[in-house]
Amino acid sequence: MVETYEHAFLKDLAVLWLREQGYLWIGKEIGLSHFSPRPSYDEERRRFNQLTLGHMAQTWENRFICDCVGVRYYYSGTHYLYGCGIEAKATQEDYLRGFCFDRLNLHYIIAPRGIVPKGTLPKAVGLLEVHDPHLEQINELWSPVLVGVEVRKRAYGYGSSLADEKKMELLVEQIGRHASMHHADLIRKNLPLRPQPEFLTPRFKIQERLSRGKYAEVM
């Protein structure tokens, strides 16, 4: 399935939003199959199957690849890793086809304003609404702030009960691998378009000491 520009743009905004929230490891298209859904999953899925928006039929899919995932440290008596997943939905049709949720500590949907009625979301899932997004420079002392992305509904956070450190470490490793590959691919894609430097290549001289104390150049 070819990704639309609108969907890719929403994922980029999700990355920026997670960075603003203090998440240290962020990646796109991250598989969460090693996380088991919580018991509330089946109940929420049955409720969601009854939804119709604008008389559009929906076909739910149990998804385990999340559009965007962020991980950070959380402190609640002790430090542990804390994960947030965000699913991008540019249209109501895509929203009704299903999304990944109930696997990490927090889950959000990011969508243009008016696409997703917040009352139709699973109770633990939050909603980020996008309208005229851009970066705004506050002043020279502050980093750019993302505006135009509004938290329409707060996600319900699951705490340390989910903190399986081994699984979270595997998730961080996966995010780092995806980010590194993406970074390398961007360089490979953009390198032919960049001005090529004119390297100065000096002629190296290697000298060998002769028996009489003199030096001779070795090519």
Distance CA 58, CA 48 (A): 9
Residue 53 gets which letter from DSSP? B
Q: How far is CA 212 from the centre of its chain?
A: 68
Where in the chain are the domains?
5-189
- Looking at the chain, the whole-number percentage of residues with pLDDT higher than 90 is 23
Give per-residue pLDDT as tens, 101-157. 888 889 999 999 988 988 888 888 999 999 876 656 555 445 566 778 889 999 987
Percent of residues, the chain, with pLDDT higher than 70: 71
Taking the C-alpha atoms of residue 191 and residue 35, their distance in angstroms, rounded to an integer, is: 38
Residues 6+ apart with CB under 8 A from 162: 38, 83, 104, 105
What pTM did the predictor assign? 0.76
Residue-wise pLDDT for 148-181, tens only, equals 888 999 998 766 545 577 888 889 999 999 889 8
Please check whether residue 217 is in contact with residue 207, taking contact to mean a CB–CB distance below 8 angstroms.
Answer: yes
Mean pLDDT on 24-50: 77
Instruction: Evaluate whether 205 touches 217 at the Cβ level (below 8 Å).
Output: yes
pLDDT band for position 193 (50/70/90)?
A: confident
pLDDT at position 141: 47
